[in-house]
Structure 1
Amino acid sequence: MFVPFYDANRLRHIRFQYVTVGLIAVNGLVYLFAQASGEAGAILSAFEISYGFIPAVVNGFAELPPPYVAVPPWLNFLTYSFLHLDIWHVAGNMLFLWVFGDNVEDAFGHLRFLLFYLACAAAGAALHALVFPGSEATLIGASGAVSGVAAAYLMLHPRVWVWVLAFGRIPLNLPAWLLLMVWIAIQFALLASGAEDVSYAAHAGGIVTGAALTLVLRRRGVPLFDRQIRTPRAVELADAGEERL
């Protein structure tokens, strides 16, 4: 419904969002490798089956054939999040990470942000396995981790204005609290409805974990629910003021 593509929210504590950019690069490279290793007409490659997350396997209800076993099942709680089904899948997740990840990384610090991202990915997989314990379908995608990032951004910078494409074509400038609260509400509504086309359980797991970890992982002195309103024009004026000083 809404695709974010820009927020006027400067970094305060770090010079560059190395972890955010690194995660985007790794996801992109893994996607290209998985596509190159796939067979024509196959929905998932052997690589994606080996490193994706299958609830029935991690819950002990099924076993992967030996040729597909590449890592211990517990590691699939993380590896699945670096795999994507198609270019739109990876692009959508990475765009969310690009827009919101830098400021969350800024608030947490590089290492804590990386641990936060991986924890949200693992929590998304865990809730998916709890909701669909016997599923033999392979879960892939960074949505659980990115959902945690979105929840953290909401708790840190709800008043920042974000440029989005509504319905993929209409540019709108919306406050983050409105954009993200609507998006989060939709995820939980679809989870409650039993929709199975997307793992909304993974989204929900990431959201809850992201919100909880934000309380303890943010830097000392970083406030919750920042009251300063940042529009693109406000940032331009602030930059101009700093230059004059």
Structure 2
Amino acid sequence: MVIPVHDVNPTRRTPWVTYALIAAGFVVFLRTPGMAGSVTGEGGLAQLCRLESFLDQWAAVPRELIHERLPRLVPTGQVGVGPAGPGCLVGPPDYDKSPPLSVLTSMFLHGSWLHLLGNMLFLWIFGDNVEDRLGHVRYLLFYGVCGYAAAYGFAFVNADSGTPMIGASGAIAGVLGAYLALFPRVRVWVLVPFLLFLPLRLPAWTVLGAWFALQAVYSYGAGVSQAGTVAYLAHVLGFAAGMLLAWPLRRGTLPPPEPPGAVWGRRARPGTPWQGQSRPGW
């Protein structure tokens, strides 16, 4: 799997929504019980019980989404001792949870620093150009629609699952699908793990197409030993939703120029062909 680090694709407006989503992801992660001080998100039993209670309240659970009802017993966040030894206590929920709304809150939850940083990296690199093309408001709505499509699609296939779904991966996969539809030939700098890390500049269709193919293979449990711990199918569904939503905008999207002498530049420089001009379809 290649690691994207930069795309040569100037923008004409500041991606405030993308910045806000990234900032919100970090803020929520730092306020998630036990996550801020751990690289892996793992800890003692008391921390695990608090985390289970937190996720049960704020994460999306497939069987709750499909059946529209909450379980009678949920983790309380406290540790107890039973016949099998210490464990997390359960009891009637002391909160009112809306399953549809839990899809929205689950988009800002992550299970580890690696989970968070991986998602935010992809959003940082590819989100600004999709926001630039859609506009701030439409981009925010697009992001939410892709997240909901990924979550509910996964829930329909796993209707009896009680495992909480967390992460912005489904929504960000939608951003990747839109990027592929709008900017398939844009060059993307990636690091390829070969001995150390080999930097290459590849077209977006190669990078994102390979990413989608891996998610599709993993969604069938091939090539990974713990496929059930990651909702790969949600990635596939989010990507497909984003690509379908962005496809009608392809004809109005001009291919971006590559600023001369600014390989790592993000913004359009004065003198580029579309600087100061409007694009068709805006």
Q: TM-score interval w.r.t. the shorter chain?
A: 0.7 to 0.9
Selected match of 1:222 from 247, 252, 259: 252
1:6 is matched with: 6
Residue type matched to 1:201 in 2?
Answer: L
Does the 8 A contact of 1:123 with 1:209 survive in 2?
A: yes
- What is the CA-CA distance between 1:76 and the residue it aligns to? 1.4
> C-alpha displacement at 1:230, in angstroms?
3.9
TM-score, normalised relative to structure 2? 0.74
- Provide TM-score, normalisation by structure 1: 0.85
Equivalent pair of 1:11/1:102 in contact (CA under 8 Å):
yes
Q: Is the 8 A contact 2:66 2:156 kept in 1?
A: no
Distance 1:227 1:107, change over 3 A: closer
Distance in 1, matches of 2:4 and 2:33, equals: 26
**8 Å CA contact retained: 1:159, 1:229:** no
Label 1:97 to 1:156 Cα distance change in 2 as closer, same or farther (>3 A): same
Amino acid at match of 1:197: T
Equivalent residue for 1:52? 59
Structure 1, unaligned runs of 5 or more: none
Larger fraction in helix = 1
The alpha-carbon distance between structure 1 residues 109 and 68, as it changes in their structure 2 partners (threshold 3 A), is: farther
Matching residue of 2:176: 150
* Residues 134-165 of structure 1: per-residue CA shift (max 9 Å, x gap): 01111101110010000000111111111122
The equivalent of 2:120 in structure 1 is 94
Q: Is the 8 A contact 1:77 1:122 kept in 2?
A: yes
Alignment of 1:16-27 (within 5 A): 16-27=14-25
Q: Is the 8 A contact 2:18 2:127 kept in 1?
A: yes
1:57-76 counterparts in 2 under 5 A?
57-60=64-67, 63-64=70-71, 65=74, 66-67=92-93, 69-76=95-102
Q: What is the letter of the counterpart of residue 183 of structure 1? A: W
Q: Which stretch of the first structure deviates more once superposed, 55-64 or 102-111?
A: 55-64
Partner SS for 2:189: strand
CA RMSD of aligned residues (A): 2.8
User: In the TM superposition, what are the counterparts of 1:225-244 in structure 2 within 5 Å?
Assistant: 227=255, 230=258, 233=261, 239=269, 241=271
Instruction: Give the drift of 1:42.
Output: 4.7
Shift of 1:172: 2.1
Aligned residues: 236
Q: Which moved more, 1:2-11 or 1:184-193?
A: 184-193
Structure 2 gaps of 5+ residues are: 36-42, 75-91, 276-282
